[in-house]
Amino acid sequence: MARTDADVLIAGGGFAGLTLAIALRQALGPSFAVTVADPALAANRSGDQRASAIVAAARRLFETLGVWQGVRDAAQPILDMVVTDSRLDDAVRPVFLTFAGEIEPGEPFAHMIENRLLVDALAAKAREVGVALRPTAVARWDGHGASAQSIDAACADGSAISTRLLVAADGARSSIRTAAGIATHGWNYGQSAIVTTVSHERDHEGRAEEHFLPAGPFAILPLKGRRSSIVWTEATAEAERIMALPDDAFHAELEQRFKLHLGEISIVGARRTHPLGFFVARSFIAERIALVGDAAHVIHPIAGQGLNMGLKDVAALAEVVVDAARLGLDPGSASVLERYQRWRRFDTMAMGFATDGLNRLFSNRSDVLRFARDVGLGLVDRVPNLKRLFIREAAGLVGEVPKLLRGELL
């Protein structure tokens, strides 16, 4: 089969891979060849029940790339958020923290959107800006040693692509990361997230709820219409038990946690489970290779930040590659990739440990810890500047924020 050249070859056409491809093509134009290879590009994504919280910085990036405009009407702004901390059978759930959801007037700190809608919009925009989309996996590659000017990748459909930079955007079980010999450090939580979608009688009015229960967080995240996405953490054995229940018993377990404040609920989406873990790759780069998104790090969904962190990788990598290409430099050179790694690895470790600590603090039955965390939450709730900092951090607007996430063109 044919052999082609690409300045950048991206393995993985999920959020991270497609966003990077669009950013590079928009900034560098048709003379800069970008290919995305992923067998899922040919698949129907209707089975993906997940929805994601897209924080303000990520929304600015999608708007700058011209993607948000196509999905805006399907995205539900999060207008406020409540956090509670209680036992499963407590009759009343005291509210410890509330966020009114704007970081700037008229700009919500996050939106909820169904994953498949956003990925479809990204694929359409990638096609429009001239990214070559290949519905096949990157099966093998050969780097030809340290001084080589390119990597030769072999795809599962028999085609071959020669590239100056291979980006691993191939998800948590990245085969590119493994083949590059990059180890990860982290651990499994022994927890799984049950994900489904419910409809309810009353309007959620844009309110997100996070109920910290002893088994872990139970999140109710508003979707367009009278619907909410549920991310429900349980110990893995308990999640398996709940998943195996018939529909009426599953509904009863859900209702015990959801309660009836939005009226009667109906389950309108399939149920799925996702095992939860935390890991960070020991390096985000190898010779002519960069890792982005879940290929580089996976964190607990407790703060809904996994994808948002991946988009920060993408925005940082796009910025360093565009700077280099405009100066006529090699986008896969060690100096370019080291700049990317310096920018992203420390920030990733910090966010990873923060979400890990949050999960440990909240997913337990200790009354002493419960008292301590409730005092802490109450304090954040009452000190306006501290609360504002928390909201800006959650919105992705703190630290060395790449241009695209500030809403600036590259």
Residues making contact with ligand FAD (CB under 6 A): 11-17, 37-40, 50, 52-53, 137-138, 169-171, 175, 193, 195, 231, 274, 293-294, 301, 304-308, 310
CB of 227 to ligand FAD, least distance (A): 15
Return d(Cα 114, Cα 200) in angstroms, integer. 17
For 240, list phi and psi in degrees, rounded to 5: -65, -40
Which one, 337 or 370, has the nearer CB to ligand FAD?
337
CB of 71 to ligand FAD, least distance (A): 15
CB of 245 to ligand FAD, least distance (A): 19
Which one, 137 or 280, has the nearer CB to ligand FAD?
137
CB of 6 to ligand FAD, least distance (A): 14
CB of 300 to ligand FAD, least distance (A): 9
CB of 362 to ligand FAD, least distance (A): 16
Which one, 170 or 319, has the nearer CB to ligand FAD?
170
Residue with tokens 């996405």: 229
CB of 69 to ligand FAD, least distance (A): 20
Which one, 216 or 331, has the nearer CB to ligand FAD?
216
Which one, 284 or 370, has the nearer CB to ligand FAD?
284
Which one, 16 or 262, has the nearer CB to ligand FAD?
16
For 287, list phi and psi in degrees, rounded to 5: -60, 115
Which one, 4 or 175, has the nearer CB to ligand FAD?
175
Which one, 27 or 58, has the nearer CB to ligand FAD?
58
CB of 36 to ligand FAD, least distance (A): 8
